[in-house]
Chain A
Amino acid sequence: MADEGARQGRPARPRVGLFVTCLANLFRPSVAFAAVKLLENAGCAVEVPEAQVCCGQPALNNGDFADTRAIARQVIAAFAGFDYVVAPSGSCIGTIRNDYPELFADDPEWGPRAQALAARAYELTSFLTDVLGLDAVVARFDATVTYHDSCSGLRDLGVNQQPRRLLASVSGLRLSEMRDGETCCGFGGTFCIKYPEISAKMVSDKVGNIEASGADVLLGGDLGCLLNMAGRLKRLGKPTRVYHVAEVLAGMASAPGIGERD
């Protein structure tokens, strides 16, 4: 989705607050470093507020709205001064953009602040393309890749063509779409722990489609889904490597993939 309004009002060197996301922070810092590199290369001044932890989704999706609000207030305050808040995740940004305003709909103090943040919050590939107008990166990745559209990014934010447009500019990369690419991988946050059998069936179906695509590498824009699919691929002993799309776009995918070391 081209975001003309956002593009027009953009400062020359936008100050971007990076929302690291808890999964990138804990499991795969290289994703956040890749995001920083992409944003800085695109002319942004990137800062990482220390008072950030999580967007609150585990509480929100389990019906604990009171704790979600407490966490959301923390996020809103931490990112108040930035031109934009950007995260390498459609899921966390979906929460900030769509759910925060709803959570504070009746709150005269936090409601407007939540809305102000929501209007400036972007998923990484969407920010690079829709807001900054980027249509190419300088990177090389010699592999056939397939792309998993994570549900929140796809349906809450309309992220679908943005990563593909940028990937098309990566030299050596060939994209092979999988069947049912828009079907959930079975992660679903705490769903995969609360309903492990159903989740296992869903991720098994997904892994079958990944394999059938003939790709050597699976890419996606959300670490939750990627950890889930990588975990299943590794359990089955599949050779498919898994990276976050930011790592490939930033030319940082020479490191071991998710669930690999050497």
Chain B
Amino acid sequence: MKKRITLKDIGKLEGQMIESQKFDLSALPAPLDSLDDEPGIKELTASQKAKFDISLDGVSAIGLVKPQTREEEDEYVKKFLSGLKKLLSKENNWTFLQPLMLSLENCAKCQNCSDACPIYTESGRQEIYRPTYRAEVLRRIIRKYLGKEGKLLSKFTGSDIDLNYKTIARLAELSYRCTLCRRCAQSCPIGIDNGLITHELRKLFSQEMGIAPKELHQLGTVQQLKVGSSTGTSPKALASFIDFIEGELEELTGKSIKIPVDKEGADILLLHNAGEFISWPENIEAFALVFNAAGIDWTLSSSLVAYDAVNYGVWYDDIQLARIAARHAQAARDLKVKRMMVGECGHAHKAMLVVSDRVLTGDLNVPRESAIPLLEDIVLNDRIKLDPGKNNFPVTLHDPCNLVRLSGIVEPQRRIIRKICTDFREMEPHGVDNYCCGGGSGFAIMDNANFADWRDVVAGRMKLKQILGAFKDVMSPEVHKYVCAPCSNCKGMIRDLLSRYELTEKHGIHYGGLVDLIANAMVDVKGQFINWEAT
């Protein structure tokens, strides 16, 4: 029988702790149950193996480069310990110290959270992915290296984990094997939050050691602060996108619809995830169509950072989070708008409305809202003419964790869909009990080495099963089916899942946003707004 991985193994085992290519993955339902050769997780090339530290599971999310000397390894340990001390200090981590201390000191280790975690269950219950594994490793390191226990006592209390380069490298990777969906926290009777512990580990690595996935840091928050957007879109490029979108709108409606930019004194500053401009411009078009038809007084901003609602800091770095949140709020203040509003971006909801609510003070404390309640008002109060008959195809709704479980915006999107779609079917479970799409906490945009394979095959597996379950009676490719995902990152993840398993081509499953469905039901739009070839 295969030896079970223990907590101590993180600092002891040679080579890889587990091999992701050999996971005993959970079975997929029809029509994928007969999939002979499921596209799996690629093994890295010899040069990638030589370069990246893949000693956790053969996957590299953060692209950690192996140190060459013993001194370099020791430096990792020194920096990790110094970061750990800061993580536990009132000055350096006031932002999350209370929840962190509560979760570090009170876990009963009952493992009630394990079955709530789709990464753990879908991977064939890999011990290292269990929500308590990384948390318990961290607890024991803290007790052993920052506590006052002697050697004997630390054996008694179980604080006997070696802190060495191996432990640190594996913990760094392991902090990116959790989507921070916090289903585990929801299932804990004491209220312990292993998702939070993962978040804090990521912060330690980023804020102290400068270790973070390039897609979140260099190409994410740093690029956003420097160039203006996490997509690399500059203000000049933004103007071109807007020209393009206005052209598309004219083609679609026969009318000239202007997208207001930098309109001073508008009621609403709308912030889109800039990924929409590149990958899903139809979402921007749909917002413009609906808002203009309803007579909403709104604007976009062309200020650096503020034309991108993205705030990846919420996943890994409090200081980057605060920097971006402040610049969003500053743009609203400069334009003298009455309120800021987040479009269809889940993590921007959590970042702008929830987490950074407590870093914006004084002049920057500008009213902040979600666009979804406004869309609900427009649809339910018949402020525009809609024909549900135009949405006469099966629709299911994906609940982005950041929007639902973590911001409490659950019903408005459902009330909209119920009113404008003729065949709405819920996924199970849904609402605040939903499962993450698999792309949460930055995974949707991370693609170092073979990480995207791991993400699609393991992290997205439960969502894939839920989507298939929702449409199980209408799998014919002739029937268009629509997965509504009111979040850019979730859309990206669902796009990749549908593509990996050829579900659009073979079974007619498409995806898109919420406002796209509203635009599709608009009587003023000739034909279909949804382009089934493109989604």
Chains A and B form a bound pair: no
Instruction: Show the binding face of B for A, using Cβ within 8 Å.
Output: none
